Structure 1
Amino acid sequence: MKENEETRSHILDSAIHSFADTGYKATSMSKIAKKAGVSKSLIFWYFESKGKLFESLVDRFVAQCAISFVRLDAKKKAQEKMNEIIDMYWVFVKNNLEFIRIFMNWFLQAETKEKTKTERLRKIHRSFEEIFVQCLLLGIEEGVFDENLNIQNTAVLIVSSLEGLLVQVIMLGQSPKEFDGVFFENLKNSIIHGIIKR
């Protein structure tokens, strides 16, 4: 069983490098097999198709993202935690930019059923949203965040603000460095200022 998991993980690692080299559409299963040093039939045995293989990469990426945020210090106060979550998001984006580009490329391709793609995107969005929902609830409980906030809508607004920044980087080809420093601090301060109890 452990050997199967190791082989599967090795194939996924090789696939991400192959997708990074040539993009989703131009990457063949043969290329992934060659990179992994395994037969193409073995890859099909584990993943059925290139689309399924990529979906497995997306699921692994989402799990890694969730693990990053779970590591937050539970003892921190809500405002400090909110700061940290936003910072972690930006660091995660910068550290995983290549995969995010590949994911966006895959999402815009027509090979996989649209419902499957949309569900994958929603899963990422919702898991990120839930992190902010929990932080907002904590802040209201501590008396720091405005108790009149619509928590779900506020979480959506925060995520949308951060994803808007991501769109600037991915779709418009801007470097994340253009948003580091003052710009990012101003964005973070605007978000937090908008939820603080007056």
Structure 2
Amino acid sequence: MSPRTSTQFETIRQEKRKVILEAALELFAENGFHATSMSTIAKKGGISKGLAYNYFESKNDILEEIVDEGFHQVHDLLDPDKDGVLSEEEFISFLEKTFAMVKNNHRYWKLYFALMIQPVVSENLSEKYAKAGEPLFRMMHEFIASKGSSDPEGDLMIISAMLEGTFLYAIVAPDIFPIDRMKEKVIDGIFRIIQSGNKNKAV
């Protein structure tokens, strides 16, 4: 049998990292971050504790990579041409693709949301991701303002809360809040919020 190539080793490495991250996400979400140890993560992933430490220095490193992955999945959808400016077409595409992402990977996002609402997670990472999310919110703010909103900052707050609440309801109670139906209503609602501000300004 011929020795493995560097590409094969990298593939194996990425597969092992994925196993560890998936096991950790499930345990963090179900048992809490504090109650989860590296030993339990390794056991859940079917690997040794020593091997787990070969890939991650601590469970904090695992947590940061999990949160990074979820953050960037959303962030990368917002500005596909990376020009720092949102067109209406890009904004609608972002909303549609985000809804599709949540729908197609329901279990992952259910666990992710359960993890993110834990105080220890939100407190430790809020500053980092608030800063990382600044370009995203700035683009959305500028887009809302460009559509004629009289209160783009307030509208952005309402729209952000609407999106987060929609995803949470669609994940927790999909039979009551079907995500495809919610998508239509939310996109329509977002533009009504922006346009209502424009009408008020005109009056």
Q: Does the pair score TM above 0.5?
A: yes
Q: Report the counterpart of residue 92 of structure 2 in structure 1.
A: 83
Distance 1:101 1:92, change over 3 A: same
Q: Report the counterpart of residue 55 of structure 1 in structure 2.
A: 64
**How do 1:19-34 residues align onto structure 2 when only pairs under 5 Å count?**
19=24, 24=29, 25=31, 29-30=38-39, 32-33=41-42
- 5+ residue gaps in structure 1? none
Is the 1:14–1:36 Cα contact (8 Å) retained in structure 2? yes
Percentage of identical aligned residues:
21
Over the aligned positions, Cα root-mean-square deviation in angstroms equals 3.9
**How do 1:99-178 residues align onto structure 2 when only pairs under 5 Å count?**
99-109=108-118, 112=120, 115-119=123-127, 122=130, 126=134, 128-137=136-145, 140=146, 145-146=147-148, 148-170=149-171, 173-175=172-174, 178=177
Distance 1:67 1:5, change over 3 A: farther
User: Offset of 1:21 from its aligned partner?
Assistant: 5.7
Give TM-score scaled by structure 2 length: 0.67
User: Offset of 1:160 from its aligned partner?
Assistant: 0.9
Q: Report the counterpart of residue 190 of structure 1 in structure 2.
A: 189
Separation in structure 2 between the aligned mates of residue 176 and residue 83 of structure 1, nearest angstrom: 25
Residue 10 of structure 1, aligned match among 4, 10, 15: 15
3-state SS of paired residue (1:82): helix
User: Offset of 1:121 from its aligned partner?
Assistant: 6.0
Structure with larger Rg: 2
3-state SS of paired residue (1:178): coil
Query: Residue type matched to 1:133 in 2?
Result: H
Distance 1:84 1:73, change over 3 A: farther
Is the 1:129–1:159 Cα contact (8 Å) retained in structure 2? no
Separation in structure 1 between the aligned mates of residue 65 and residue 9 of structure 2, nearest angstrom: 15
User: Offset of 1:126 from its aligned partner?
Assistant: 4.8
